[in-house]
Amino acid sequence: MDLPFSQAAQNNCQPILQELHRLLADAGSVLEIGAGTGQHACAFAAAMPHLQWQPSEHPGSLDTLRPRCELAALDNLLSPIAVDICQGPWPSPWPDAVYTANTLHIVSRELVQTLFSVCAAQGALGSQLIVYGPFNYEGQYTSQSNANFDLWLKDRDPGSGIRDFEWVDSLATDAGYALQQDIAMPANNRLVVWRKCRSD
């Protein structure tokens, strides 16, 4: 069977997993938003059997996610679910961690804001929000390759683009999350970790 494949997911899988081993050592459940081809979901669930890993995708992309997850047949990898950021439905109870990779620069600014609003309303105290991808800092690109990538993103969809870290962090703060770590990753990416510390 020819499975959907992302070279980027293949490249960043092991560096991310190395950090997640530490970050999720005490977690029991993870919701992955925008799980794409399922490469991360399958690799991470296999490497961290103490976790119940719940992959999710937009309803229109669920067929891309399902095949790899079904073939993996891991006891701790739950069946993929459809989650529309604007409409849900969201899992209940809320997981110990929400993980998303290479999504904030793809979706619109409005959807980024909606995601944090959902986390504000539903996120459990102590739960983590872990985001992987490129960020700008103080309005500046961290590399020429990121600048080129941002131009390409905006050319294909003016609503997408690399987000300013300070803006995203302010959304997290308003949602009741405190920044825990901002980890430099290969290829000018970051792994940013927030923890829910306030419930308004």
Residue 84 in any domain: the answer is yes
Residue 43 covered by a domain: yes
d(CA 170, CA 27): 25
For the chain, the average pLDDT equals: 97
Residue 161, pLDDT score:
99
Cis? peptide before 93, omega within 30° of 0: yes
Mean pLDDT of 80-84: 97
User: Between the CA of residue 99 and those of 44, 61, 95, 107, what are the distances in Å?
Assistant: 11, 18, 10, 15
Q: Which of 93, 104, 102 is nearest to 127 (CA)?
A: 93
* Domain assignment of residue 19, given as a range: 7-196
Q: Is residue 79 part of a domain?
A: yes
pTM greater than 0.95 (yes/no): yes
Tally Cβ neighbours within 10 Å of residue 173: 15
Q: Report the CATH number at residue 183.
A: 3.40.50.150
| pLDDT value at residue 1 | 73
Query: Has residue 55 got a pLDDT over 80?
Result: yes
- 152, part of any domain: yes
Dihedral over Cα of 156, 130, 49, 83: its sign: negative
* Residue 200 clears pLDDT 90, i.e. is over it: no
Asked if residue 1 is part of any domain, the answer here is no
Question: Is there a domain that residue 2 lies in?
Answer: no
**Is 36's pLDDT higher than 90?**
yes
Nearest to 39 by CA among 88, 80, 98, 97: 80
Q: How many domains are contained in the chain? A: 1
